[in-house]
């Protein structure tokens, strides 16, 4: 039940049902963005923005952020770039955010929870992104969303910043596409509630797995749970893919594993975002495999 059109072997594969699986790239630096561009990927499915802030002891100014974001956007070329707003936490700490140590960083202040508690920084970050995105197909992605209120408040904040920038006559990207990471089981279970608020969904299987199995993603010893627990993770992904109003991608490491990729595709997911270095091998493995119909 599988066919392939090898004209663009790296960027996508055709399935027997006429649909295509697209390969997008996960990148974290301008060099990786260039590597992705030279592969000809459909887009940058996950731009981890943490590198914009590495080593910063003081919050970077709006203008400093704009310069660094544009360096990344230029490296990616003219293709869609899904940039994840800063995903900080006690495990990925940045001195200027002054996050305290936490006994259990995976369950504490992370992603959007941090941003909402640092409103001055969140404002400057979003303003920098809107300003840097002029002339690019830049889309924003919120990390560690758990409840709809977090997304609704971010949308309101973006609206306010748009009004502010307009009043200041500062060019900026508007309207802006806003999607969310699905990395907390609560979001997958209530995905329909997020449809009116999110323009797209990106499944972060690294964290979604950790929170589904109650296994620290840094803990190497519990492989059996991960292996046998995959069915539960895939059921959550299926819930996300079942809603048909919004595009869905998977951007966790599992997307680069051919057997998991086949399972995602079988559940209706048509966009896989993986590290550029892993795309050729994944495309090759999938081309040679028989993908079950969704």
Residues of this chain that interact with Mg ion (CB under 5 A) are 183, 204, 207
Tell me the closest approach of the beta carbon of residue 35 to Mg ion, in angstroms.
22
Q: Which of residues 201-230 bind ligand PEP (CB under 6 A)?
A: 204-207
Rounded to an integer, what distance in angstroms lies between the CA atom of residue 26 and that of residue 30? 12
For β-strands 177-182 and 201-203, DSSP reports them as: parallel
Q: Which of residues 72-101 bind ligand PEP (CB under 6 A)?
A: 87
275 binds, among ligand PEP, Mg ion, none (CB under 5 to 8 A by kind): none
Q: Which of residues 29-58 bind ligand PEP (CB under 6 A)?
A: 46, 48
Q: Is 183 in the site for ligand PEP (CB under 6 A)?
A: yes
Tell me the closest approach of the beta carbon of residue 46 to ligand PEP, in angstroms.
6
Tell me the closest approach of the beta carbon of residue 135 to ligand PEP, in angstroms.
27
CA distances 24 to 1, 2, 77, 235, Å, are 24, 21, 14, 23
When CB distances to ligand PEP are compared, the closest residue is 204
Rounded to an integer, what distance in angstroms lies between the CA atom of residue 165 and that of residue 168? 5
Q: With both helix axes pointing from N to C terminus, report the angle between 223-242 and 205-213 in degrees, rounded to the nearest 10.
A: 120
Query: For the chain, how many residues are written?
Result: 294
9: helix, strand or coil: coil
Residue 271's contacts (CB-CB under 8 Å, 6 or more residues apart) are: 21, 22, 24, 42, 45, 247, 248, 249, 250
Span from 149-157, 172-180, 199-207, 285-293 in contact with ligand PEP (CB under 6 A): 199-207
Give the nearer residue to ligand PEP in terms of CB position, either 49 or 161: 49
- Residues in contact with ligand PEP by CB under 6 A are 46, 48, 87, 183, 204-207, 251-252
């Amino acid at each position: 039940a599988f066919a392939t059109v090898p004209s663009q072997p790296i960027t996508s594969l055709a399935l027997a049902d006429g649909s295509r699986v697209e390969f997008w790239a996960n990148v974290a630096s301008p060099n990786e963005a260039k590597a992705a561009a030279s592969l000809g990927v459909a887009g940058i499915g996950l731009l981890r923005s943490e590198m914009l802030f590495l080593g910063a002891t003081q919050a970077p100014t709006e203008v400093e952020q704009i310069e660094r974001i544009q360096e990344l956007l230029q490296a990616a070329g003219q293709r869609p770039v899904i940039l994840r707003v800063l995903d900080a936490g006690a495990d990925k700490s940045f001195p200027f955010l002054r996050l305290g140590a936490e006994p259990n960083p995976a369950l504490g202040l992370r992603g959007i929870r941090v941003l909402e508690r640092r409103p001055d920084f969140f404002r400057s970050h979003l303003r920098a992104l809107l300003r840097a995105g002029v002339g690019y197909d830049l889309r924003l992605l919120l990390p560690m969303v758990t409840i709809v209120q977090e997304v609704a408040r971010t949308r309101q904040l973006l609206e306010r910043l748009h009004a502010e920038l307009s009043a200041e006559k500062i060019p900026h990207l508007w309207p802006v596409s806003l999607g969310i990471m699905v990395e907390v089981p609560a979001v997958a279970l209530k995905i329909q509630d997020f449809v009116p608020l999110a323009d797209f969904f990106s499944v972060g299987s690294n964290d979604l797995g950790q929170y589904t199995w109650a296994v620290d993603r840094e803990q190497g010893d519990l492989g059996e749970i991960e292996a046998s627990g995959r069915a539960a993770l895939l059921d959550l992904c299926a819930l996300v893919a079942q809603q048909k109003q919004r595009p869905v991608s998977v951007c966790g490491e599992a997307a680069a594993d051919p057997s998991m990729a086949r399972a995602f595709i079988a559940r209706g997911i048509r966009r896989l975002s993986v590290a550029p270095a892993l795309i050729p091998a994944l495309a090759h493995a999938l081309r040679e495999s028989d993908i079950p119909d969704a």
